[in-house]
Structure 1
Amino acid sequence: MVTTQRIKEFCQTVRLKSTQVFIVAGTCLLTLLVTLVCIGLMTRYEVENEVANVADVDYWKDKVASTQKIWYDKGIEELNEALRSPSAPNYPRNVRIFLVQGIDGADLAAYRFPARDLSQGNTNFAWDYFPHLARLKNSCSQQIPCQVGSVPRALWSGIPLDRVPRFQPDCRESINETDTPLSVLRQAQLVGLRTGFVTTQRITGSTGAALGNTNSNYECDERMPLGYSKSGCQDIARQLISGETGRSLNVIIGGGRQMLNSLVPKTNSDPVDELLCDSSDGRNLLKEWRNHKLEESKISPIKFEFLQRTDELESLNASNFDFLFGVMANGDLSGNAKAPSLKLMVERSLQVLKKRGQGYLLIVEQFIKSDMDKRMQLQILNETLVNLQPDRDTLTLVLMTNAIYPKPILDVSEETETIIHLADTFNEAEFQIQQRLHQMPSESLLFAQGPKSSIFHGVQKESFLAHAISHVLSRSKTNP
């Protein structure tokens, strides 16, 4: 009887332990399944977002010579860094565009190396680390003659170069046209973004004329043919100051005082450029801009400032202002020995543009003439970019082009300018030399970094730049 009782107790114990074992085994199996699902989801996420671990990219270290290993190690680090960069799904709140005129791919390749000392190796510029790169075709080289003044209008309006409107002598109808092509700057203003234009050239140059939606080929009244004013035509300077785009600019800094005012101060450091247009109709457009802002402030309180000297710009607490207008030279800034640096102008511009809850578009033009030290100019741009504060909400573009060379008297392309020097060499007619120069590789390089920078890729038409920027601006965030 006692034996039977013990057998029953033993059986119950074994049964209980079997149940526990089953529960434990089931828990382990469920944990394993959950773990496998998580690993699968993480792997899929990494593939979709191009996220990689340092160990994901490797090479046969045991088969690589010791003299190669150090370079392979560095190359793998760079590759891993590239793979870690996810394609951001969000659109940028802000867009910064740096336009460099006078530099092509050959210049960049040459000036990455320190002067006369190749032992230091190849030094990358800030834009060399941008993850995306596109090339913009130079259709100007394929036209005889090339209307170079139309190239900026193609870049910033998105209209092909051969379709850019030609301005007629009678401006009465075109001035009041409601279907005038809008530049990306005006489009940004219409969607509520703050806007700025900074140039080391004069603000009435071809870039300023295109961005400001002007419809003239003449920077000031002096160069306009007789009868143009009577037919209702206005020069670029007057349209830029009185037009909606120019008046709505939160920041505009550059040269060109002698186009805006008929009487300008002349100093040894900042003489009047005799090769440029010099207004003679008694105008004072700088005063007109200030008076217009005073009228605006009576309706809606705004703070604005007008500057003409570098020390004024240096001491300005720019973040307190809604509008900033700086005219820092009679002609181009290169003609004024006391002109502000590119870095200072960009810093103050961003201080004005950055407002809580509102995005911005800033376009900066660095004009590099053929007689300038290109290496030094690239270093100036590099320093300016390096000192910009990192911003995950900002798309930054750097456009290098050697295809646009606006001249003081007549706008001509680099290809057209070269004809003067090649005639003696080839002893050919101008038309034949133009045909020869069609083969010149002068495509523009576009470096991109930030949200949606991946849309800038491959070889594109000049008009692609405006189309891409317009798309990004239309989806830009305006929330804080």
Structure 2
Amino acid sequence: MVTAQRTKEVCQIVRLKSTQVFLVAGTCLLTVMITLLCIGLMTRYEVQNEVANVADVDYWKDRVAPSQKIWYDKGIDELNEALRSSKGPQYPRNVRIFLVQGVDGRDLAALRFPTRDISQENENFLWDQFPHLVRLKNSCSQQFPCQVERVSKALWSGIPLDRVPESPTDCRDLVNATKTPLSILRQAQLAGLRTGFVTTQRITGSTGAALANTHSNYECDERMPLGSSKSGCQDIARQLISGETGKSLNVIIGGGRQMLSSLVPVSKWDPVDELLCESSDGRNLLKEWRNHKLRESKINPIKFELVQRTDELESLNASSFDHILGIMANGDLSGNAKAPSLQLMVEKSIELLKKPGQGYLLIVEQFIQSGMDKRKELQLLNDTLANLHKDQDALTLVLLTNAMYPKPTLDVSEETETIEHLSDTFNASELEMQQRLYQMPSESLLFARGPKSAIFHGIRKETFLAHAVSHVLSRSRTKP
């Protein structure tokens, strides 16, 4: 009887202690859950109410020159404002920028809504469906010379147009390379991203020159002043092929063979463009590019290819290569009747650039010259975008600019000149006045879709593009 009573007391004690342990454990678990919930709510609040000051906004601070950093820091104010309205924590791993030279908002409105044939349905382009749009101011409307080379450098380096360094005439006085402003393309390379440049123009044009960080106004040796050559200056073509930015590019596709080689094949479908520079120093920069890659492959195994015909590009298994140089015309691609389509060039470029765990920056330039069928050219871009492989990690930007700038010799912009000569202007015919007003530089339109596309809204400075792309790529996610 005593034994049974003792057993009963022991069981009651054990039961009581088990209950106490359960209560303590439950309290601890509840505390941990509440703590995690608070952390989650705080994190979500901070993400939704993103950046508050300069220290929080990332870009490649160690990748830009001191003379360039001051303008990136100033541009933070615009980024702060844009990022405050940007929802969602996702950043893109890849950025694809399509630059259309020769079309602005006025053209787009006219081409989107045809009026001559009322039976034809209104046609919206694919970028009209992009969720975000920003207007980039054009500094060419201000009172200082506006050269297309400086416009490109302002756009791709993030430095205001009036502060873009002049190209040196004596390269013995050239500033140290570490202090030279770097394009967004070079910044991406230094940060470990793969990069590509595709153009329907020649690769030595103003866009290619700015992206490759060249410091010359001459596309090849033919037109360089003798004094500049003797002081060690190099033309754009040589800098692009032998410079660090050009050598690091994974993809270069465009025209410009006559700037890169003194002896080029000539055919009825691909003649030499006599209005453009023609190399005359006996160079063969295509061969130099191949030789450089051969030397590099002995140290770091890489696969590379030089292509110069459409069929070569079509048959290329681009995903198995590390570098492609495609020179598809003697001059601009518009001068070669057998040049590859924009869609083919873009598709092959993306095939090569896409690698597991590594992001990329691809810049595509479509140059629409005066006299071209603008509707047809825009339709080619529309088809190219429509056939792109869906990539949820990619930020896609379409930038439309009229590409009409005053000649380098003018001391004032076209708009200023028109205002100063209103009396003469109004004495002209109505058609002449319309043409003159139409040729004034207009603001550029930038359509955006994809992760962080919401930061592209409102009216921004032309430097905003470089600052914004630098920021989003510096925060890119990397996935295996």
Q: TM-score, normalised by structure 2?
A: 0.76
CA contact 1:113–1:123 (8 Å) conserved in 2: yes
CA drift at 1:477: 1.8
Which residue in 2 is equivalent to 1:143? 143
Which residue in 1 is equivalent to 2:463? 463
Cα distance between partner residues in 2 of 1:338 and 1:416: 42
Which residue in 2 is equivalent to 1:169? 169
Which residue in 1 is equivalent to 2:153? 153
Which residue in 2 is equivalent to 1:55? none
CA contact 2:168–2:215 (8 Å) conserved in 1: no
Cα distance between partner residues in 1 of 2:418 and 2:200: 24
One-letter code aligned to 2:128: D
CA contact 2:145–2:408 (8 Å) conserved in 1: no
One-letter code aligned to 2:456: F
Which residue in 1 is equivalent to 2:277? 277
Which residue in 2 is equivalent to 1:478? 478
Cα distance between partner residues in 2 of 1:336 and 1:413: 34
Partner of 2:174, secondary structure, is helix
Q: 1:87 to 1:122 in 2, by over 3 A?
A: farther
- Mapping of residues 234-245 of structure 1, within 5 Å: 234-245=234-245
Partner of 2:389, secondary structure, is coil
CA-to-aligned-CA distance 1:34-76 (integer Å, 9 cap, x gap): xxxxxxx9xx99xx89xxxxxxxxxxxxxxxxxxxxxxxxxxx
Cα distance between partner residues in 2 of 1:407 and 1:337: 29
Cα distance between partner residues in 1 of 2:417 and 2:266: 30
Cα distance between partner residues in 2 of 1:185 and 1:441: 25
Cα distance between partner residues in 2 of 1:406 and 1:276: 19
Q: 1:363 to 1:417 in 2, by over 3 A?
A: farther
Which residue in 2 is equivalent to 1:76? none
CA contact 2:401–2:445 (8 Å) conserved in 1: yes
Cα distance between partner residues in 2 of 1:405 and 1:273: 22
One-letter code aligned to 1:273: D
CA drift at 1:389: 1.2
CA drift at 1:415: 6.8
Cα distance between partner residues in 1 of 2:442 and 2:112: 19
CA contact 2:143–2:413 (8 Å) conserved in 1: no
RMSD: 3.1
- Mapping of residues 42-441 of structure 1, within 5 Å: 87-114=87-114, 116-174=116-174, 176-404=176-404, 440=440
One-letter code aligned to 2:89: P
CA contact 1:261–1:282 (8 Å) conserved in 2: yes
CA contact 1:306–1:325 (8 Å) conserved in 2: yes
One-letter code aligned to 2:401: T
Instruction: List gaps (5 residues or longer) in structure 1.
Output: 1-40, 50-85
Which residue in 2 is equivalent to 1:453? 453
CA drift at 1:273: 0.5
Q: 1:113 to 1:196 in 2, by over 3 A?
A: same
CA drift at 1:244: 0.4
CA contact 1:402–1:414 (8 Å) conserved in 2: no
Cα distance between partner residues in 2 of 1:111 and 1:213: 35
One-letter code aligned to 2:131: P
CA-to-aligned-CA distance 1:171-194 (integer Å, 9 cap, x gap): 123264321001000000011100
Cα distance between partner residues in 1 of 2:377 and 2:405: 16
Partner of 2:177, secondary structure, is coil
One-letter code aligned to 2:194: R
One-letter code aligned to 1:229: S
Partner of 2:222, secondary structure, is helix
Cα distance between partner residues in 1 of 2:368 and 2:439: 23
Q: TM-score, normalised by structure 1?
A: 0.76
CA contact 1:275–1:409 (8 Å) conserved in 2: no
One-letter code aligned to 1:200: T
One-letter code aligned to 1:167: S
Cα distance between partner residues in 2 of 1:380 and 1:357: 31
CA-to-aligned-CA distance 1:390-447 (integer Å, 9 cap, x gap): 111000000000144699999x98879999xx9996568xxxx9xx859947100000
Which residue in 2 is equivalent to 1:16? none
Cα distance between partner residues in 2 of 1:474 and 1:108: 33
Q: 1:142 to 1:121 in 2, by over 3 A?
A: same
Q: 1:175 to 1:332 in 2, by over 3 A?
A: farther
CA-to-aligned-CA distance 1:323-376 (integer Å, 9 cap, x gap): 000000000000111100000000000011001111000000000011100000
CA contact 2:404–2:439 (8 Å) conserved in 1: no
CA drift at 1:304: 0.3
Cα distance between partner residues in 2 of 1:163 and 1:351: 37
CA contact 2:147–2:408 (8 Å) conserved in 1: no
Q: Which moved more, 1:438-447 or 1:125-134?
A: 438-447
CA contact 2:147–2:405 (8 Å) conserved in 1: no
Q: Which moved more, 1:128-137 or 1:167-176?
A: 167-176
One-letter code aligned to 2:253: I
One-letter code aligned to 1:379: Q
CA-to-aligned-CA distance 1:284-340 (integer Å, 9 cap, x gap): 000000000000100011000000001111111111101000000000000111100
Cα distance between partner residues in 2 of 1:165 and 1:304: 34
